[in-house]
Structure 1
Amino acid sequence: MARMTVKEGARLLNEMNDRSREVFRRVVEAYLATGDPVGSRTLTRAMSEKISAATIRNVMQDLEYLGLLDSPHVSAGRIPTQQGLRMFVDALLEVRDLNDTDRQQIDATFGSNESDIGHLMGRVGAALSGATQVASLVLAPKHEAALRHVEFVQLGPDRALVVLVFADGHVENRIFHPPPGQTPSSMREAANFVTALAEGRTVSELRRAMAREITTRRREIDDLARQLVESGMAVWADAGEPTERLIVRGRSNLLEQGAGSEDLERIRELFDDLERKRDIAEFLELTDEGEGVRIFIGSENKLFSLSGSSLVVSPYMNADRKIVGAVGVIGPTRLNYGRIVPIVDYTAQLLGRMISDRS
C-alpha cells in the first residue's frame, strides 16, 4: 500500500465534516490506548454531541470506505488502518511536553561518568526502553579517534581477540577467527607490525596503510603473522561494523505487548530481524532528511520485514552538525506516539550534546 502523504491526509481530513473527524479521532485514540476494536456504543458516551449508536455506525462505515478504519471481525468495532494511523499521526496527533519523570529517567543515564561509549549507549537504550515500555534501538557513532596500540590475544584454537586502544582512552575488544597454526611469536609480531603503523592513524586510515605495507614488505613479515594481520583486517571492514554499532534493549517489553497468537508470531519475526540486524545500514539513512523525529508505520518500515510494527527514530549530530548516529524505539503500531515522540527527541538531543562535548 502506497504511503499517504501529509498533503493527501490533510486534504482528506478537510473534506470530512466535524462529526466524521471526531469519530475518526476518538476511534484512533481509544485504539492506541487499549489495542481493542472500538464499538459505536463506546463512542456514544465520548462524543461531544449526543448522537445515536446507529448514526455513529454509519459514520464508521463511511470511514471504512475511505480506507481509514477496518473491522477485524463482524460486529466487533473498528480499528484504524495503516493509512488511518498515518493520517492521524500527520494531522491530528497532539505531541505532549516531556514529563518530569521521563526527563529525570533519561537525564540520570547521561549523568553517569561512563567512559566507554558502548556501555553508555547501552545505558541510554535501557533508559529509553524503560521509559517507553517497548524495544529501543541506538546506533552508536563510529569511533574515528587516532589509535595508540593494538594487541592480539589467543582465546582458543580458532578464536582470538584483537584489542584496540585509542589515543583518547577508548578501548574496543573484538573477537575473530584467526588462520590456523598461530603461535605466541606470530601474535606478537602481528601486534608489533600493526601498532607501528597504527599510532596517530584512525581505524580507516590504518586499514589502508596495512594493505600497502603488507604488499611492499611481504618478505619481511612472517607468513603466519601476515595471515593474522590480513584476517584481522576483516574485523575492521565496514561491512561488519553496523552489527556492532546497533544496540537493542527491551525486547521483553514487546512480549508483554503481544496478547494473541498472531501478535506473538509478529513479535517472534521482529526478534529474528533484530538478531540478524537486517539492513542496519539503512537505519541511519532513514534519518538523512535532517533533524527531527520520524515515524514509520507498518509496511512503511522497510528496515524490518515485519509489517505490524512502528519505528519512531531521530538522528543525533556531532559538533560539526553532521549526523553520526540515530536513536529510536520499535513496537506495535498502537504506540503512544504523543508521549514517545518527545522522549525520543529529547534523548537524541542529549546524545548529540554528549558526543559534541566528548569530541
Structure 2
Amino acid sequence: MIELNERSEYIFSYIVENYLRMGMPIGSKQVLADLALDVSSATIRNVMASLESQGLIIAPHTSAGRIPTSRGLKFYIDGLMEIGDIDQQDKAHIDQICAQAGETTNDMLNRAGQTLSGLSRHLGLVLAPKLDKAVRQIQFVKIAPAQALVVIVSTDGLIENRLIELDKDVSESELQRLSNFINELCAGRTIGDISRTLADAMKKNRIHLDRITTDLVTKGLAVATTNQANEPHLIIKGQSKLLEDVQAIEDVERARDLFTLIEDQQRMMQLVQSTSDGDGVKVYLGAENDIFNHAGWSMMIAPYKNADNNIIGALGVIGPTRLNYGRIIPILDYTSRVLTKLIG
C-alpha cells in the first residue's frame, strides 16, 4: 500500500500535473523553483528518490528529470486528483445532443458516442445493449392527428420510443384499447414473438382487427423491430482522432495495436463488459491492467443503467495516457447519468 506524507504528496502531485500539462520530465531544481518550498534541493531529491523507489515516478531514457509511471498516474487519479463539476458549456452540449425527441435508443447511443469523441477530442465508445428483449408493456400514445408514439418497456426496464404516422386520425380511447389488447395477448414476449403471434392469429381468424387497428399494429411493431439490435454491440466514434495522438515514431506500433484491437469487435466488447461492472468512472492505464498490449494508452469507462437500476451498457473514452482527466471524467460521469435518465 502506498503511503505519502503531506510534502511527498504535494511534490508528487506537481510532477504528475507537470507531465499531464507539458509531457516533459521535471528535475528537483525545477520542482523547488516552481513550488518555492522552504527546503533544500537535497530534500527534494530525497523525496523524489523515495517516490521512485515506490514505483511512482521514473527517469525516461537518460533524462535527469522524472515523469510518473502508469502506477503513479493511476495512484494520482484514484486518490489525489481533485475532480470538479462538469463545465456548464459541456453540460449544455450533452443535454442538447442526447435528448433528441423521437429518436430510438440506438440513435441516442450513437449520438452519445459522437459527443464523447467531440468533447474529449479522442476516441469515444458506447457498449449498446441487446434491445430485443421480453416486453413488459406496449403503449400507443396520441401525439397529434394521425400521429402516435409507440412506447415499449422491456422486462429489464429499458424504454424505447418511436413516432409513427397513420393513414387516419385515431382517438385516444382507441389507442388505449389497442394497448390493452396487445398487452393482454403478448406481455412477456419479445417484439419478434409478438409480431409473429399477431400475424398468425389474424391469418387463422382467431382475432379480428379492423383496417385502422391493423395499420397501427403493423406500423408500431415494424418500427420497434427495425430499431432494435438483436445483440449487444459496440459503437465507436472518432477513430481518426487516434492518428492525431500519434506524435512520435515510437507511437506508431502502439497505435497499430490499438487499431487492431478496436477492429476486433468481439474482443473490444468483452473488454468493455469486463470493466463496466461498477458505479462511477473507472480509469485503466495501458499495459499495467492488460487492457492494451503496450503502455501509452488509457481508457475511461462509465456504466449506464435502466429503470430498474441494472447496468445495461457502458460508455468510454480511449486516448494517450496524457489526457485531461479532470475534464473528461466529469463529462463521462454526466453523460452516463443522462443516458440512465433518458433510457429509464
TM over 0.5: yes
Residues 15-34 of structure 1: pairs in structure 2 closer than 5 A: 16=5, 18-34=6-22
Residue-by-residue CA offset, 1:168-199 (whole Å, 9 max, x unaligned): 6779xxxxxxxxxxxxxxxxxxxxxxxxxxx9
CA contact (8 A) 1:39 1:78 kept: yes
Unaligned runs of 5+ in 2: 136-150, 153-159, 164-185, 198-229
Give the equivalent residue in structure 1 for 2:275.
Answer: 286
Equivalent of residue 250 in structure 2, options 256, 259, 262: 262
The answer as to 2:298 corresponding to 1:307 is: no
1:98 partner amino acid: I
SS in structure 2 of the partner of residue 113 of structure 1: coil
> Following the alignment from structure 1 to structure 2, what is the Cα–Cα distance between the partners of residues 53 and 259?
33
Residues 54-65 of structure 1: pairs in structure 2 closer than 5 A: 54-65=42-53
CA contact (8 A) 2:55 2:69 kept: yes
Give the equivalent residue in structure 2 for 1:241.
Answer: 231
> Following the alignment from structure 2 to structure 1, what is the Cα–Cα distance between the partners of residues 92 and 51?
41
Give the equivalent residue in structure 2 for 1:298.
Answer: 286
CA contact (8 A) 2:26 2:65 kept: yes
CA contact (8 A) 1:128 1:136 kept: yes
> Following the alignment from structure 2 to structure 1, what is the Cα–Cα distance between the partners of residues 283 and 192?
33
> Following the alignment from structure 2 to structure 1, what is the Cα–Cα distance between the partners of residues 258 and 191?
33
- Does the C-alpha gap of structure 1 residues 114 and 330 become closer, same or farther in structure 2, counting only changes over 3 Å? farther
1:141 to partner: Cα distance: 2.0
> Following the alignment from structure 2 to structure 1, what is the Cα–Cα distance between the partners of residues 231 and 24?
41
1:345 to partner: Cα distance: 0.6
Equivalent of residue 271 in structure 1, options 259, 262, 265: 259
> Following the alignment from structure 2 to structure 1, what is the Cα–Cα distance between the partners of residues 292 and 56?
24
The answer as to 2:65 corresponding to 1:77 is: yes
Equivalent of residue 120 in structure 1, options 100, 103, 108: 108
2:231 partner amino acid: E
1:68 partner amino acid: L
The answer as to 2:54 corresponding to 1:66 is: yes
The answer as to 2:132 corresponding to 1:140 is: no
The answer as to 2:317 corresponding to 1:329 is: yes
Residue-by-residue CA offset, 1:207-248 (whole Å, 9 max, x unaligned): xx9xxxxxxxxxxxxxxxxxxxxxxxxxxxxxx934xx2111
SS in structure 2 of the partner of residue 292 of structure 1: coil
CA contact (8 A) 2:71 2:288 kept: no
- Does the C-alpha gap of structure 1 residues 251 and 279 become closer, same or farther in structure 2, counting only changes over 3 Å? closer
TM-score (norm 1): 0.66
CA contact (8 A) 2:286 2:293 kept: no
Aligned residues with identical type, % of pairs: 42
> Following the alignment from structure 1 to structure 2, what is the Cα–Cα distance between the partners of residues 97 and 170?
33
CA contact (8 A) 1:294 1:314 kept: yes
Residue-by-residue CA offset, 1:73-98 (whole Å, 9 max, x unaligned): 22341111122112212221100111
> Following the alignment from structure 2 to structure 1, what is the Cα–Cα distance between the partners of residues 340 and 288?
26
SS in structure 1 of the partner of residue 34 of structure 2: coil
1:329 partner amino acid: V
TM-score (norm 2): 0.69
SS in structure 1 of the partner of residue 86 of structure 2: coil
- Does the C-alpha gap of structure 1 residues 56 and 354 become closer, same or farther in structure 2, counting only changes over 3 Å? same
- Does the C-alpha gap of structure 1 residues 321 and 60 become closer, same or farther in structure 2, counting only changes over 3 Å? same
Equivalent pairs, count: 265
> Following the alignment from structure 2 to structure 1, what is the Cα–Cα distance between the partners of residues 237 and 258?
13
- Select between 37-46 and 26-35 the one with higher mean Cα deviation: 37-46
- Does the C-alpha gap of structure 1 residues 267 and 295 become closer, same or farther in structure 2, counting only changes over 3 Å? same
Give the equivalent residue in structure 1 for 2:340.
Answer: 352
2:276 partner amino acid: T
1:108 to partner: Cα distance: 1.6
Residue-by-residue CA offset, 1:57-80 (whole Å, 9 max, x unaligned): 333222112211100122341111
> Following the alignment from structure 2 to structure 1, what is the Cα–Cα distance between the partners of residues 36 and 236?
43
SS in structure 1 of the partner of residue 253 of structure 2: helix
Give the equivalent residue in structure 2 for 1:104.
Answer: 92
Residue-by-residue CA offset, 1:260-316 (whole Å, 9 max, x unaligned): 11223212211111111224134123222x321111122344444343221111111
> Following the alignment from structure 2 to structure 1, what is the Cα–Cα distance between the partners of residues 102 and 66?
48
SS in structure 2 of the partner of residue 259 of structure 1: coil
> Following the alignment from structure 2 to structure 1, what is the Cα–Cα distance between the partners of residues 341 and 237?
22
CA contact (8 A) 1:22 1:47 kept: no
Runs of 4+ in 1 over 6 A off after TM superposition: 166-171, 203-206
